[in-house]
Every structure is written in structure tokens, then in C-alpha cells.
Structure 1
């Protein structure tokens, strides 16, 4: 059978121009990952937090796939750069927006639609045979971006219900689009659209010359203002008063009521961890890319857990979300300047303990015939293992040449755990001790460490 292939050789981009464009796209994918990750803890709607977790991981995967193709095109796998300083300044402008609607407009009505159209243009304009891997990749990423845009538009429709709100959102969109056009877009080549009807492709046989930025090009770092806790919508609320937590007391902790209390408190852990993963991605761009990919993956896991746990409380356990408070004893660690401190207690102690807690929940639920609760506890526990491994492996790797750093993490972590356990003791009417946290174990400690003492404790706060 003869091979029929109607594609023609020839495209608009050289290998060098191709790789430069992919580096520009990767820059924007990483910017979007960091923006929505860093915004997550200040977005009150749980549905938005959960979807941001999905989108952060999507952008991380897109950046990773682009890096693979960059390497194939003889460029550095880690290449990512704005085409112009003005585009980097535009990204900074968007990052600094503080309104939920403005942020959603900037990302889902301007930046992502522009990125999608750039992918489609590139896939159409490059050599369809010689550069088939790029074509395949960009069409895949364009489809993913279109799903993001559709979600963002639906959310904006729900948040802008009055004519004045719609008008203002359009004004914000027009302003950011004007900035985008002025800086030449993601590639610095203008807003390209060669596929439009009656537009001659021959008028733009090759891309125009690029602006040379050099090593001193404009860069900025993202920093989140410290908060006492993540921002959440009503009816959710936080409290530092141990008496407020008496609502979670049950005569039988393994009854439906007891499980309802456990899962409602666990929901905070899922929200907090979704938010803290995004915040780390925004504030620590210099962490190894492989570690950042794992942080993004955990953010996605936790976003799914928000959906699962909230549904369990309402549908399986007959609860009403927000009936009890969430604690203040965890979030302060996410204001620490050291990224390893942010995961030392939460991932290497709390989530390790949560694995044991969820196993107990599964066993108790099975004994009571609560099959659904047992199954869900089992699935949640399976995810926790990868989260513990993330911190274990990376803290060990990043402190390998500096054992004193690991010792410092253990000392600091035990003080943090004492703060948590003492609050829990007051909440439960128990005696506060001076030795709380002193024997806590962390999974990043190595066999033979002098500080490796103690046993796993129960905690469902993360």
C-alpha cells in the first residue's frame, strides 16, 4: 500500500528559533505555575483552591515536557527566559494583582489564551515533518490550556454578576491585553496569527530578528506577605481558643459522628497543604527542578484530597462544612525563610504520622462495616507515602554536605512540634508538659544519628 502524506517540507523556524520559542513558552508556563501557586492561600473559595492545585501541576508538567523537547533541539533542558524585559515586567505586574477577579482575568482571559494561540500558531508554522515532535507536543499543551481557559471563564461568569462587575473585568482585560501587545507577547514577535483567512503566509516567511537581552535581563522574585492562616470563605473559620474545639468531642470516636469530626479536621490539613505547596513553588524558584515537580505533584494530590474529604463529610457522614473551627498551630511554619523548615515537620513528621492514623481509621471503619470510609482512608494513605518520601529524599540530599543543617532542622522541628502538642493538650484537657516534642522522630534522619530517638506520634493536622 503506498504511503499518502500530504504534508510538505519547510517551516518558518530554524532549530535555534524553535528552541528560543520553546524557552519563552517554558518561562510563561513556570510563571503561571508560580503565580497561581503563590496566590492559592489568599483565594478564599475552596473550589478555586482545588482547581488551582490541578492547574499548577498541569503547568509544571507542561514546563517539563518543553524541557525534554528543548534538550532534543540541542538547547539546555532548563532553558526558560522571557523574550523581552517588558514581558518579564508584565508577568510581575500580573503577579502583584491583589483582586481575585483581576487575577483570574489576567490568567484565564489574557495570558493563557495568548499561550494557547501561540502554541497553535507554532504547531502550524513549523516544519510538520522534521519538527513533528514539537507539533505533537504543542497541540497537546494547547488542548490542556483551552480547558483551563474554559474553567476560568465559567468562574468569572459566576463572580461578575452585575453589569458594573462585568464592565470592570473587561477594563482589566483590556489593560493587560494592551500591555501584552506592547511587549510583543510571549515570543517578543508580536501577536502572530498566520492561519487567519486570506492572510498570506509568504508575507512572513521567517521570523523577525530577536531583541538581545543578555545576562542582565530583567528578573523579579515572588514574595508572599506573611499571614496567620490561609484565607478561606465562610462558613470555614480558624480559632486559637482550645475551648472552641470541644465541638469535635464524641462519646464514641469510631461512630459516624466521630469520623465526621476526624474528617472535618483533616479537611484543614488538605487545604493548608495545597496552599503551602503553591506558596513554596512561588517563593523558592531556585530549588532543583525535580523537587519543584514533586511539590507541584503533591499540590495536585492535596487538591484532590480537598474534594474527597469535603464530599466525605457532607455525603457519607452527614456533616455540614464549617461546623467546627480549624487550628492556627500549623501555618506559621509556612512563613519561614528556609524551604526545608517548611517541609521538615509537615511532611517528615506529621504526614508520616498521618499514614499510621489513616491506617487505624481504615481498620476501625472496616470493623464497623463502614466500607466507604475504609476505602477512602486507604486511598488517602497511599498518597501520603509519596509526600513523606519527597521530604525525606530532598532534605537528605540538600543537607548531605552540611550535617549541621540537618541537626538544626531536627532541633527546630522539635520546638515546633512542642508548640503543636501543647495546644492539642490544652484542647483535649490534658497536662501541658515541658518535654513535648523532645523525642519526635523525622523521616529524614539517618540510622545512627544521635538525635534518632522517640516513636511515631498520632496527629491528623496535616
Structure 2
């Protein structure tokens, strides 16, 4: 290289070629219109995932829907910010871009079976969104519109993750008979997208189309009753109080890890409950839904970490009754605001030294590295959740004290139905702890501690915060 020559560093900050930087097909107005389509679809997908997760029985789908709702919410947030940067006040982000696009999303929301839901999501809507994102990147000026391109690239990356998951889930769940029965409906969905000019609205719509409703002819009704798959047996069982064990100084940190793993796995009931708050609380600023979706996914992730903990110990978690009556009772007995109050009351109660920090310390003392790591991240997440609660719940009260008192009252008014479930034959509240503990001790190669083996406290008269439950009529 001569003294006067310039090193061949890529031009234009490495974003694109000069040809790409000379594209003129998309002025700002058309970029905004296109991104609003992406925003609308992602916003509606977030709503579908949230609305359907509580009543979805299959654990892997319930947790995946929690994750996918969060991802969609993140991309909605990014698009809202980007549109606001492009000379677009008022934003008009709540407007429906095309009635056929709206009908397509309504159809998937109203899908009557899990098979139909999976096919509508992962073989119709998500692929159409990916195609539109690819097309946007291939059309817009990669230099002038670089901030939008970055958003589209990240969105495309994560939508492709959704598509891959969906393909594997469909292969596992959707039978040949189910697929055959839904071929016409999938064709109908794609026809609705075509009638809208494609998901991006830039194609010529067909001369005629059938836009009459199919599944959505019967309006979707939210089902807030939690459902679980066959691995979740004896789900009304509240015969073991893990909090009582966890705070009992007689028991070793190693033994307490088992109860913490159970508590983490049981957190599946939190996204089941939080989804009901999101679906049944209209009219909030978008940030409320985005923040709550983050917390919802965190709680689902904690449940998955509990599952990993049991796998790490070589224990079959499906032999343990994973109780679901917390989400069941809150969803069926309280209003959305009251549910949020209980959620915040519990989250705030985890902040003192006897809460999440204590569980992390137990994890470290147990000398089980995975337990320490799980509790480390669990603690960090719960600190964030308490902050979110202060922003979206406490603000309505003006002060923490009345907000906490209201949350306590709301939780206290929830009937636990402990005796009722037993008397109706739904459970005998079997003490499952000794069998689990023996199996863990066998894995560790140690003899069970007789005191730990004899633990038998239940939830009959105590809440999860160990506060007494007032016995009231359950009729």
C-alpha cells in the first residue's frame, strides 16, 4: 500500500453498498405505513398468545406462549418508538390497517382447538410477518432508514425462532387428521392476507374474495380457568407447605433446595393469573402491557428453571402434585385489579432479607451450584417485578402503605377451598414430600434426615406467606 492510498475499510459504516444507499422506493410516509402493519400484527399476536396461554393445557406450549407474547411486546415497543421518530404525531398506531387483516387475527384468536391455533399462528401469520420483514429490508434505503432496518432485522431473527418452534410443536401435536380438516381454513387465512394486499399492504388484492367469518363468527370468549396436561395430576393438592419447610431452621440448605425447586416449578400459576390481568384490563398505556408481559415471561421462565432443577437431580417432577389453585382461585374470585393487588403484595413481601435474598443464600449454602444460580437470577427478576408493581399498581394509591394493605385484604378474601376440595373428592391432600425426599437422598447417596422426612405441614390454615387463613364458609 502506497503512502497516499486509503486502507480499504468498508464504506458507509459497513451498513450497505452504495447501490443499497441509493434506493428511493420508500419515502418516510410509506415506511411508516409499512411499519404500522408490522406493529398491528405483532400487537395482535401478543394478544393472542396472552389470551390463550391460561387455558392451554400443554406445559411446553403454555410456557412458549408466555415467551412469544413477551417477544412480540418487545417488538411492538420498538416499532412504536420508531414510528414516533418519523414525523408521525398523532401516531395512529391503534387504527386497524385493513379489515381483512383484522379478520385474519380474529380467526386465529378464535381457533377452537390447539391444532388450529398452532397452524394459524406458525404456518400463516408468523411466516407472513417474516416475509414482510424480509421485503422491507430488501426495499427500504439501508442507510437513510438504518434505525428501522435494525428493528426489522431483530424482529425477523426472533420471528424465525418462533417459526422453528412452531414447526416442531406442530409436528408433535397436530395429527394428519387435524391438518386435513384445517386445510380449507388455512387457505382462507391466506386469502384474507391476500385481500389485505398482503401483510404489508403493498400487493394488489384479488378481484374477489371470501371474507365472511369462520371461527370468529362466534366471538372469542376469554377462558381464565387454568388447564394443565396429564402430567399435572392431583392439582388441587395443598398437602405440603414448602414455605413452612423453607423457613424452618431445623432443616439443611440442601434439603431446602428441593422445596425451592418445587416453588419455582409451581410458579406456572403466575403467568396463568397474569395473563388474565393483561387480557381483562383495557385502556392502559402500552408500557403497562409491555412491562407486565416481561414479568409474565419471567415467571414462566422461573417455572422452567424449577423443571431444570429436578432434571439436574435426576428426579421425575411429574410424580409430584403441582398445585394450581392459586391461579384458579384468583382468576375466578377476584377482579383484575384485585389480582394485581395480590401479585404486588406477594412480590413486595419477597424483598426483605427473609425473601429472595434468603433463598439465594440457601442456594449458596446448599453447595448445589445450579440452585445458587437459579436463585440468583430469580432474586434479580423479583426486584424488577417489585419496581414494576410500584410503577403500575402503587401509583394508583399514591403511597406504598395503603397499596400493601389493599393487597393483603384482597388475598385474605380469597377462599382457599382446602377442605372443600378434600370433601368433594378432588384431592386427599396427600403428603408427597417423603417420597420426593427419599428419592433425592438416594441421588445424593445420603440417609434421609428423620426430622425432614417427617415434615407434614399443609396449607389448610396458612397462606404461602405463612399468615393464618380465616376459616369461612365455602358455599
Q: Distance in 2 between matches of 1:163 and 1:365?
A: 46
Q: Distance in 2 between matches of 1:152 and 1:291?
A: 27
Q: Which residue of 2 aligns with 1:328?
A: 325
Deviation, 1:36, is 0.7
Q: Which residue of 1 aligns with 2:154?
A: 140
SS at match of 1:376: helix
Equivalent position to 2:95, from 70, 77, 81: 81
Equivalent position to 2:113, from 91, 99, 107: 99
Equivalent position to 1:63, from 76, 83, 86: 76
Equivalent position to 1:231, from 223, 227, 230: 227
Change (3 A) 1:277 1:190: farther
Between 1:314-323 and 1:295-304, the stretch displaced more is 314-323
**Contact 2:341/2:407 (<8 A) preserved:** yes
**Contact 1:253/1:259 (<8 A) preserved:** no
**Contact 1:280/1:339 (<8 A) preserved:** yes
The Cα offsets for residues 249-307 of structure 1, whole Å up to 9 and x where unpaired, read as 899754755532442244122x1112233333333342221121111111221222122
Aligned residues: 405
Q: Which residue of 2 aligns with 1:315?
A: 312
Q: Which residue of 2 aligns with 1:201?
A: none
Stretches of structure 2 lacking an aligned partner (at least 5 in a row): 1-5, 12-16, 206-217, 422-427, 430-455, 469-475
Q: Which residue of 2 aligns with 1:302?
A: 299
Between 1:286-295 and 1:101-110, the stretch displaced more is 286-295
1:194-209 alignment runs, 5 A limit: none
Q: Distance in 1 between matches of 2:113 and 2:239?
A: 35
Q: Distance in 2 between matches of 1:257 and 1:296?
A: 33
The Cα offsets for residues 304-346 of structure 1, whole Å up to 9 and x where unpaired, read as 2122111112323634324224141443323467432222112
Q: Which residue of 1 aligns with 2:3?
A: none
Deviation, 1:419, is 4.4
Change (3 A) 1:137 1:344: same
Equivalent position to 1:259, from 257, 260, 278: 257
Q: Which residue of 2 aligns with 1:17?
A: 30
Q: Which residue of 1 aligns with 2:42?
A: 29
SS at match of 2:277: helix
Q: Distance in 2 between matches of 1:191 and 1:283?
A: 37
Q: Distance in 2 between matches of 1:364 and 1:131?
A: 51
Change (3 A) 1:364 1:322: same
Deviation, 1:72, is 1.3
Q: Which residue of 2 aligns with 1:372?
A: 370
SS at match of 1:185: coil
Q: Distance in 2 between matches of 1:5 and 1:234?
A: 58
1:41 maps onto 2:54 in alignment: yes
1:100-119 alignment runs, 5 A limit: 100-119=114-133
**Contact 2:108/2:117 (<8 A) preserved:** yes
Deviation, 1:407, is 7.0
The Cα offsets for residues 353-380 of structure 1, whole Å up to 9 and x where unpaired, read as 3873443334344444344323322321
Q: Distance in 1 between matches of 2:204 and 2:154?
A: 21
Q: Which residue of 1 aligns with 2:270?
A: 273
1:50 maps onto 2:57 in alignment: no
SS at match of 1:12: coil
Q: Distance in 2 between matches of 1:123 and 1:130?
A: 12
Equivalent position to 2:165, from 112, 137, 151: 151
Deviation, 1:191, is 7.1
SS at match of 2:154: helix
Change (3 A) 1:137 1:242: closer
Q: Distance in 2 between matches of 1:171 and 1:13?
A: 35
Q: Distance in 2 between matches of 1:351 and 1:407?
A: 12
Deviation, 1:108, is 0.8
Q: Which residue of 1 aligns with 2:384?
A: 386
Equivalent position to 1:339, from 320, 336, 341: 336
**Contact 2:53/2:62 (<8 A) preserved:** yes
The Cα offsets for residues 191-248 of structure 1, whole Å up to 9 and x where unpaired, read as 79xxxxxxxxxxxxxxxxxxxxxxxxxxx99751242xx21112213444655889x9
Deviation, 1:59, is 0.6
Stretches of structure 1 lacking an aligned partner (at least 5 in a row): 193-219, 441-455
**Contact 1:313/1:321 (<8 A) preserved:** no
SS at match of 1:326: coil
SS at match of 1:179: helix
Deviation, 1:116, is 1.2
Between 1:318-327 and 1:288-297, the stretch displaced more is 318-327
Deviation, 1:144, is 1.8
**TM-score normalised by the chain length of structure 1:** 0.75
Change (3 A) 1:263 1:7: closer
